[in-house]
Structure 1
């Protein structure tokens, strides 16, 4: 398995690249969630106090992925139905989107895909025994956050992505490292660490293009592996269904992904059918 990120790698990576600061609303939210007995009323006030954030949260939880029997109209209802931790992680992902060009026209397609992948990931987590509902949506939205940051730093980054897409001999991160001496997985990891996200999310982001993690189960965070596996299926399904093309990275790790999640072929087929129904 790849080595853990080193201090000198971090220093080299950050040259000329700005990591977005953790917004105050997220700092306050994390302080409350970090308490032994967080107060849901405080969290509701924090989210409701930001009109854009509360609207984004309601739009998110009312999407088909969350399987609610009725539409909800308040942050308090969302908190009650989803639970404090899951709702908190969803808010974290939405805050990230706002902080990294969420309303920038050139990034609309990126965030549209990220939101769909995150929703699919949440749905998949809901179907798996002890699935990581608290983290699945946040990870889906967060895992590629290094891409818009690198877009802002390097004018030719879109061309690099296109080149990486055509190269099926190595992960996109390898192509990025050849050109920029860094990659979007490393940048995403640093953002997650700076924003004090759970270790499983941080490690999952760093290794989400490294299928060798599934060969080293004894020394890698199992929760991070589960997030990587769920997200791999989510991306594979998204690209196949919405873009009508095969995600080759999903193909190369399918067997290990399914094995880690304990999904048999027929169960995987049922999951794909259920996901398809969500979009009809």
Structure 2
């Protein structure tokens, strides 16, 4: 896996600078396929600060195949053959995707042996999410220093979200996992910008996430959810995922069972509870009201929640995609 140190390529290219500026000017993400009038977007000054922070970061570029797939997905009649050929050009990414598609999570009755079968089974939209998640994991994954602590924590949270999503009907696992990886991507950028950030993240991420965001705003001028929102727009993730990244720490966010944003935020709330529980910090759980609301809106009953808690305490998260 490539590390941030081994490939010091600027995160945003010239074309992406234009894209990010458009986000800042409009205060809206690029994909408007999801109704979003009821959701709050980052204020323009915050997006400008996030943009400056991202420009200073030096991490690998997201593969062009992700943008090519988003382009194909945006066509009036997306072609599954074109999508399969695009993915197949990246041998390493193809291997990761095939492994994920054949994992127990997707419960394939027969083994998928090529990318054309994978696209036919999952559809272009779902496979694009899966490819994006795998690309981000390969791109951002780090194996040393304080950043590794943050990255490992991000992956635990992603697997916790996937674990909850498994018991919720109608939630696409590929989308849940993509959101799970991305929701704290801003923190990974901050750890490279501030020498003391890793320590603050360890102390506050689980038990005081709102306090961590306050520290971020004082120390760096912007918080990780705003940076994550900007990255999601820049990488052309679906609009509701970008909004869920921005709102996933909100204590007053109104969940809605029929809202794609609300479902992802609810998954995040419950995953947070499970991670805290796993580390034995039950009494420090900050937002029990959010947990109860999320359980209700995701229609998770007491028996299923008890089973999830048992899995969390045993460290039995869902298989990593």
**TM-score range with shorter-chain normalisation?**
0.7 to 0.9
Query: Take 1:169 and 1:123, find their aligned partners in 2: how far apart are those partners?
Result: 21
Match of 1:6 in 2: 43
After superposition, residues 1-280 of structure 1 pair within 5 angstroms as: 4-18=41-55, 23-69=63-109, 71-100=111-140, 102-106=141-145, 107-122=147-162, 124-133=164-173, 135-165=175-205, 168=208, 170-214=210-254, 222-241=259-278, 243=279, 245-246=281-282, 248-249=285-286, 251=288, 253-272=290-309
Is the Cα–Cα contact under 8 Å of residues 179 and 264 in structure 2 kept in the other structure? yes
> Which protein, 1 or 2, shows the higher relative CO under an 8 Å CA cutoff with sep ≥ 6?
2
Q: Which has the higher helix share?
A: 1
CA distance 1:56–1:267, shift in 2 (3 Å):
same
SS at match of 1:197: coil
Instruction: Give the superposition deviation at 1:9.
Output: 1.6
CA contact (8 A) 1:146 1:184 kept: yes
Partner Cα distance (1:239, 1:65) in 2: 24
TM-score by length of 2: 0.72
Answer yes or no: is the 8 Å Cα contact 2:157–2:272 preserved in 1.
yes
State which drifts further: 263-272 or 177-186. 263-272
Aligned equivalents of 1:137, 1:166: Cα separation in 2: 19
Q: CA offsets, 1:143-183, max 9 Å, x none?
A: 11111111122222102213424864944212222322211
CA contact (8 A) 1:97 1:111 kept: no
- Show structure 2 runs of 5+ residues with no match: 1-37
Q: 1:269 to 1:128 in 2, by over 3 A?
A: same
Say if 2:159 and 2:317, in contact at 8 Å, map to a contact too.
Answer: no
Range 166-175 or range 206-215, more displaced: 166-175
How many residues align structurally?
Answer: 275
Query: Which stretches in structure 1 are left out of the alignment for 5+ residues?
Result: none
Q: Point out the more displaced range, 194-203 or 10-19.
A: 10-19
**Coordinate RMSD, CA, aligned:** 3.3
Instruction: Quote how far apart the aligned CAs of 1:222 are.
Output: 2.1
Q: TM (normalized to structure 1)?
A: 0.81
